Amino acid sequence: MELNASRIAILDVNHGGLVLARELQSLGYDTFAVDVYGSGKESEDIRIVQADEAPAFDMLVAPVHMAPYKLLYDAVRRGMPVLTHHRMAGMLIEATGRLKGVKSVEVTGTYGKTTACALLGRMLQAKGEHVLVHASMGLTFDGMPVGERLSITPANMLRALDCAKKAGLHPTACVFEVSLGGCGTADVGIITTLDRDYPVAGGTKRSYMAKMQMIEHAKPRSTIVHQATYRLTGGRDEITFGEGGDLFYGKAGMIEGPLLEGETIYPAFAPGLDLESYGDPALCAAAAALSMGTSPEAVSDALAGFDGIPGRMKRGIIQGRELLDNSCSGLSIDGVLRALEKSGGHPGRKVLVLGEEKYNVCEGLDPAEAARIAEAWAGEVVLVGDRLLSVSGVHAASLKEGLREALSRTAPGDMIISCVKTWR
């Protein structure tokens, strides 16, 4: 990898900036990191500065979601090379050969990413691959937890691969969940969804624009898997899923379509699985798996008995209460409303646990919208997080405390709806 730069500035030490700086430094580049958010982080091997202390540089690496920060704005205005964290992470992986001989899948989208990663991992494993999955739910190898749990910031693809190497693991396929776009390593790039779009970069961009990096950085002869609601330009290989696509749900919920060449798949999900939440991610994973040579039988085996992902509209039991668990890092106000809608048929007492663990997530729930939901909710509410302290009700500092409060206010047979934005 040759970068025409004498010194490289890396913005944001909270979202993988130190990982990228360390990698660049190991390759001989003069680099430093800028503590954009004033976190006070320190490093023994990487120089960390505040913006007003930044030395001269001639290349900048910044997160795609960053607002028009002064150093970033000035670099763009001066025509300096500016790369996203995504692009730099992909270039470093390629330069260091971490994925040499390994199939790579990157998964981005507004929602459904974690479920698609989990199911695709199961499908590829059923195909006979040894699969490393790096997703919000954790790092796994052939379904078993590996090392520490990492966020899905793009730089952590490097750390995930290093964790596997340190553990002596030799994956033949890797599935990476990536926030807000692709890094350019993928043989198969997946965009689960583009709807429910939201603003990023201080409101100067939309999230779909960032996710288009999956296409922008796609390597030659790779395949993009996406919804059938749109088509790609430029002659790229693509597989579509959903109505009118290469794979879709047909009569009686069977999976069919041109990708199956006349065959069908019966998705024998666990009883009670919320198909509104899980149906499309499952179809997306199946399309990707089939495009990678997985047999319909292996796809069917992987779907059989699937009962959901914790924190993704999953039903369960907690001390005799029915739990609708929708607490995850991707929770939105729409997700809260969908969870409340799903709880409507329960005849007993219901308690809503609502809020955010601010220290665990980058973008919280809109406090005004959350307050409106809490005030309109007919049942009891336990509010989580500092930004909802002004709303009257029972308060808790964390998801764990919120659930404890909800349990104290319910009895077996009642229902708890858990909607806390948190990294789990």
**pLDDT value at residue 392:** 86
In one-letter notation, the amino acid at residue 130 is H
What is the per-residue pLDDT across 69-96, written as a single tens digit (0 to 9) for each? 889 989 999 999 999 999 999 999 999 9
Residue 45: per-residue pLDDT: 93
| Average pLDDT score, the chain | 92
Q: Which residues contact residue 47 at a Cβ distance below 8 angstroms, ignoring those fewer than 6 apart?
A: 32, 33
pLDDT on residue 403: 97
Residue 345's pLDDT band, with cuts at 50, 70 and 90, is: confident
Query: Which residues, including other chains, have CB under 8 Å from residue 358's CB and lie 6 or more apart?
Result: 364, 385, 386, 387
pLDDT at residue 6 tops 70: yes
Alpha helices in 263-398 (DSSP H): 275-291, 296-303, 333-342, 367-376
Identify which of 278, 288, 225, 289 has the alpha carbon closest to the alpha carbon of residue 253: 278
Q: What is the CATH number of domain 97-303?
A: 3.40.1190.10
Q: Tokens 């796809």 identify what position? A: 299
- How many CA atoms are closer than 13 Å to the CA of 422, on its beta-carbon side? 21
Q: Which residue has the tokens 């409303």?
A: 337
Burial tier of 56 (Cβ tally within 10 Å: 0-12, 13-18, 19+): exposed
Q: In what order do the strands lie in the sheet with 144-145?
A: 144-145, 138-141, 131-135, 173-177, 103-108, 188-191, 223-227, 237-241
Q: Are 109 and 87 in contact (CB under 8 A)?
A: no
The pLDDT score that the predictor gives to residue 211 is: 77
The topology (CATH level 3) of 314-421 is Protein-Tyrosine Phosphatase; Chain A (3.90.190)
d(Cα 19, Cα 211) in Å, to the nearest integer?
22
* In the predicted structure, residue 359 carries a pLDDT above the cut 60: no
Report how far residue 48's alpha carbon sits from residue 88's, in angstroms, rounded to the nearest whole number. Answer: 19
pLDDT band at 38 (very low <50, low <70, confident <90, very high): confident
Query: What is 8-85's CATH number, 3.40.50.720, 1.20.1250.20, 3.30.450.20, 3.40.50.300?
Result: 3.40.50.720
Distance CA 235, CA 358 (A): 43
pLDDT at 215: 87
For the chain, state the CA radius of gyration: 22
> How far is 205 from 423, CA to CA, in rounded Å?
24
Residue-range domain boundaries for the chain? 8-85, 97-303, 314-421
Q: How far apart, in whole angstroms, are the C-alpha atoms of residue 355 and residue 391?
A: 11
Specify the pLDDT at position 17.
95
Give me the mean pLDDT over the 163-190 stretch: 96
Tokens of 415: 């229902």
Q: Over the stretch 263-303, which tens digit does the pLDDT of each residue have? A: 999 999 999 898 988 999 999 999 999 999 999 999 999 99
Predicted pLDDT of residue 213 = 82
What pLDDT is recorded for position 197?
Answer: 67
Percent of the chain with pLDDT over 70: 96
Residue found by looking up tokens 């919000």 in the block: 136
Reported as a single tens digit per residue, the pLDDT across 311-328 is 889 999 999 999 999 998
According to the model, what pLDDT value does residue 420 have? 96
* Alpha-helical segments (H) within 321-366: 333-342
Rounded Cα distance between 123 and 128, Å, is 9
